[in-house]
Amino acid sequence: MIISTLLLLASSALAVSEPELTGDWAGWAYLDDGSDFPMRLHWRQTEEELTGTWDIPPNRLSGLALDGITWEAPRIRFSHRLSGSLLFDFEGALDEAERTIAGTFRTSDGRAGQFQVHRSDVPLPGVDPDSYASLEGLWAIGENRRLKMTPRFWGEMVCFDTGTGRVGYLFPTSASTFVLGAARYVPSPTSAELTLKRDEAGEVTELSFREPGEEPIVAERVVLREEAVQFENTGVTLSGTLLHPSSSGRRAAIVYVGGSDWTTRDVVRERAELLASLGLSVLIYDRRGSGESAGEQNVPFRVTAEDARAAVRMLRKRDDIDPRRIGIYGTSRGGWIAPLAAAGHPEIAFLMLIVAPAVSPAEQETSRRLDLLRSQGASKETVAEAAKLLQSVWEHGRGGITAPEYRRVLERIEARGWTEILEPPAEADHEEWRWITWNMFHDPLPILQRLECPVLAIYGSADRVVAPEINEPLMIDALKKNENATVKVIPGADHGFGLVEEGVRFHQRHGEAPGVWPTIARWLRLHDLR
């Protein structure tokens, strides 16, 4: 009995295999100086030795032979001298449970960083990204779902799936087949497989999309037309681009009003193209005083609202636009502008308010900046002190305190080390005061209460810029008499509808929170705007 037990233990020990390293791996490198880049590793084991190669996609370098390989499971060391000069020296460990190799690296010019690569369940051969560059653009899967293909500067294609919110790089498994992985640059497990068909010139003509356990779906390319347009308001000419779907006949249309980062039309183009792909014409334009639009950039909200109404008037004159179905899409700061443009103006048929504040800019900015302070562990007393200082800042905008008093407020803010968090204008006569005086005390609630057209208002549950716990109940109450108002909070979404994942590195992120675009698509269909 003892002998048989010993034999059993011995045979079990012999059956324990060496941790498996061979295969293809994809991931990311993060330098301590803040820069980063994607990377891939390919390991091959022969009877004689372990060999490996390294790919650096942004440099279009692949098959770089690795030297100094030391593999003592689970530890691995390897290096490569790039272009005969710059040495990269890696040291890491295999985690079989997590299916990763992670560790640190140093370069011969004194830089250092960390890396993490993930095992791929399928081979990842080197495929020239130029060979599938014509995949770029929008593809429709059914009525509501879109795939947005966008190349990075080095050619690799990023896919945004509006149905799931997932953003991921396409990993070629051959010249015409690709996989999407579990996250942005994590190749496995596979979330979808894509197959391309090309014409004689090599251009992609068809895309087949298959999720695990599902039948393939043929996605149809969405072709958008662009048209340069101009319109005027109070003698100022504004320039823009009208995006049209391929459908014929009179269509609904949207005037896109962006947030605080909106200057030129290209800032809002990506979301506008997604809207247009749903069957509407979408007008994007350079904000007053930016790009090809004339006028002063720093103006009261009412002037920007009048510009949006002027855009609506221009669209109403077109034969290809249905004048009864023209609305405004206002996001973030644009969420103050769009209701101001629509209230009392029945020619504006609907509003889409995306992370729109339901409080004044002073209240919203106070909330945002104090939330930053809380995130650093500030006490209630500290936050209360900062709130009083911010109130003094806004009061100077009203003319409530003098320039010498404001300078004393600045000194207190600086002494507390809060200048970067509270962001007060640096001078008592700074140009920013004009905007503050015009707009900081705008109360949106009376405007929202006057709206009679259909309204869709969307917030993100994880938004720390326009906090939903403050703004959603106010928006619901302001629109309570509007029978065609819908207010929705998207779980997990931040201010840009990105999916908030604490502690997750860039290459592991999933993209947008699910539910954003399906909500928009359904609402547009419900109100006969597609």
- What's the CA gap between 112 and 506, in Å, rounded? 18
Per-residue pLDDT of 285-329, as tens digits, reads 999 999 999 999 999 999 999 999 999 999 999 999 999 999 999
- What's the CA gap between 49 and 46, in Å, rounded? 5
| Average pLDDT along the chain | 94
- What's the CA gap between 169 and 185, in Å, rounded? 6
- At 3, the pLDDT band (50, 70, 90 cuts) reads very low
- At 17, the pLDDT band (50, 70, 90 cuts) reads low
Closest CA to 518 of 141, 115, 96, 30: 141
Greatest distance between any 2 Cα atoms in the chain:
101
- What's the CA gap between 219 and 159, in Å, rounded? 13
pLDDT of residue 427: 81
**Is residue 16 predicted with pLDDT exceeding 50?**
no
The answer to whether the beta carbons of residues 440 and 314 sit under 8 Å apart is no
Strand partners of residue 36? 30
- What's the CA gap between 404 and 427, in Å, rounded? 11
Per DSSP (E only), the strands in 22-123 are 23-31, 36-45, 50-56, 61-65, 67-72, 75-82, 86-95, 100-107, 112-119
Q: What are the CA-CA distances from residue 279 to residues 9, 131, 312, 454 (Å)?
A: 68, 30, 18, 18
Backbone angles phi, psi at 328, to 5 degrees: -125, 135
Closest CA to 263 of 293, 232, 286, 295: 286
Percentage of the chain with pLDDT > 90? 90
pLDDT of residue 18: 56
Beta pairing class for 36-45 and 50-56: antiparallel
Per-residue pLDDT of 389-419, as tens digits, reads 999 999 998 888 998 999 999 999 999 999 9
The amino acid at residue 92 is G
Strand partners of residue 151? 157
The answer to whether the beta carbons of residues 471 and 496 sit under 8 Å apart is no
The answer to whether the beta carbons of residues 121 and 189 sit under 8 Å apart is yes
Rounded mean pLDDT of 167-194? 96
- At 8, the pLDDT band (50, 70, 90 cuts) reads very low
Range name among 316-325, 344-353, 493-502 with the lowest pLDDT average:
493-502
For residues 429, 432, 433, 437, the Cα torsion angle rounded to the nearest 10 degrees is 170
Cα 178 vs. chain centroid, distance in angstroms?
A: 23
Quote the crossing angle between the two packed helices 403-415 and 380-398, to the nearest 10°.
Answer: 150
The amino acid at residue 444 is P
- At 128, the pLDDT band (50, 70, 90 cuts) reads very high
Per-residue pLDDT of 60-87, as tens digits, reads 999 999 999 999 999 999 999 998 789 9
DSSP assignment of 227-277: EEEEEEETTEEEEEEEEE-S--S-EEEEEEE--TT--SGGGGHHHHHHHHH
- Other CB atoms within a 10 A radius of the CB of residue 362 amount to 21
The answer to whether the beta carbons of residues 115 and 30 sit under 8 Å apart is yes
pLDDT of residue 212: 95
Strand partners of residue 159? 149, 168
The amino acid at residue 59 is N
Helices (H), 347-492: 361-375, 380-398, 403-415, 419-422, 432-439, 445-449, 468-478
**Is residue 354 predicted with pLDDT exceeding 70?**
yes
HEC string of 297-341 equals CCCCHHHHHHHHHHHHHHHHCCCCEEEEEEEEEEECCHHHHHHHH
Residue 97 CB partners (closer than 8 Å, separation 6+): none
